[in-house]
Amino acid sequence: MKIGIIGGSGLYEIDGLEFIEEIKLDNRFGSPSDSYKVFDYKDCKFYFLNRHGKNHKILPHNVNYRANIYGFYELGVKHIFSFTAVGGINKLLKPADIVIPDNAIDMTYSRNSTFYDELEEKYHIDFTNPFCTNLRNILIKSCMAQNLRFFDVGTYICTNGPRLETAAEIKFYKQIDADIVGMTLFPEAPLARELEICYANMSIVTNYAAGISKTKLTVDEVIDTMKKNNENIKKVIQKIPDFINIVKNDCECKNALKGTRIDK
């Protein structure tokens, strides 16, 4: 079983797994953020990609999401778990909490958000439920097995960045029922759906969002909180093989393009 792992701010490596090789590749959509590091664990091969590249050199709005996801596709990966750092909007959330979102809102702009604007085929995928139900269940079971504090519902709102949000923006996002805010879920998630790859997200609340926090927001607190949670993330990743073969294979991700093509 091939499993993709996308690491975000503060998650640049995964340890506890047997390192096999490093694969550097380019594809028709350009260069991925970094090489794909391959690990072996419990009869699974994990393909880890650092979303922001070495030394966090790539800001969220400049990530080549198409090259990243297409790289997984070329490597034969059919399941991707993404990990992201987010700000907490919902008053129930506090720093270090885990959220496994079940829906999302896209507020990004000027990002290459589809594979099919350069191809002859044209598709309008259904994105009612942006995350694979099977992979979400695996994350939920993995968190439960480790007795971690987590929330299994929540709406992730994705902003363009790289600046952090204003207090007024966060107030508005709260009014439209967003629970967490980040900068990297889109177009990563819909691109995976376009290639019929299962995709789910686990977000770590690293700080209170603007206007909720009583202090100035800093990147340092984001990185520090993620680093402190790396042990929990590692535990979740190590539990994935225990559940990936027992969850029902009834998601619609593998048929995402069925009935969505616009013919000439």
Give the start-to-end residue ranges of the domains of the chain.
2-255
pLDDT, tens digit (0-9, with 9 covering 90-100), for 9-40: 656 567 778 999 999 999 999 999 999 999 99
Q: Is there a binding annotation on residue 9?
A: yes
pLDDT < 50 positions in the chain = none
* Helix locations, 80-211, DSSP H: 133-145, 167-175, 188-194
If one counts every other C-beta atom within 10 angstroms of the C-beta of residue 21, the result is 11
pLDDT, tens digit (0-9, with 9 covering 90-100), for 179-213: 999 999 999 999 999 999 999 999 999 999 988 87
Q: By the 8 A CB rule, do 71 and 28 touch? A: no
CATH fold label, 2-255: Rossmann fold (3.40.50)
3-state secondary structure of 205: strand
Check residue 164 and give its pLDDT: 92
Q: Is there a binding annotation on residue 133?
A: no
- Beta pairing, strands 2-7 & 79-88: parallel
Q: Is there a binding annotation on residue 178?
A: no
Q: What is the pTM of this model?
A: 0.94
Q: Is there a binding annotation on residue 52?
A: yes
Task: Look at the block and give the residue holding tokens 């992730």.
Answer: 156
Check residue 120 and give its pLDDT: 72
Q: Is there a binding annotation on residue 207?
A: yes
Q: Is there a binding annotation on residue 167?
A: no
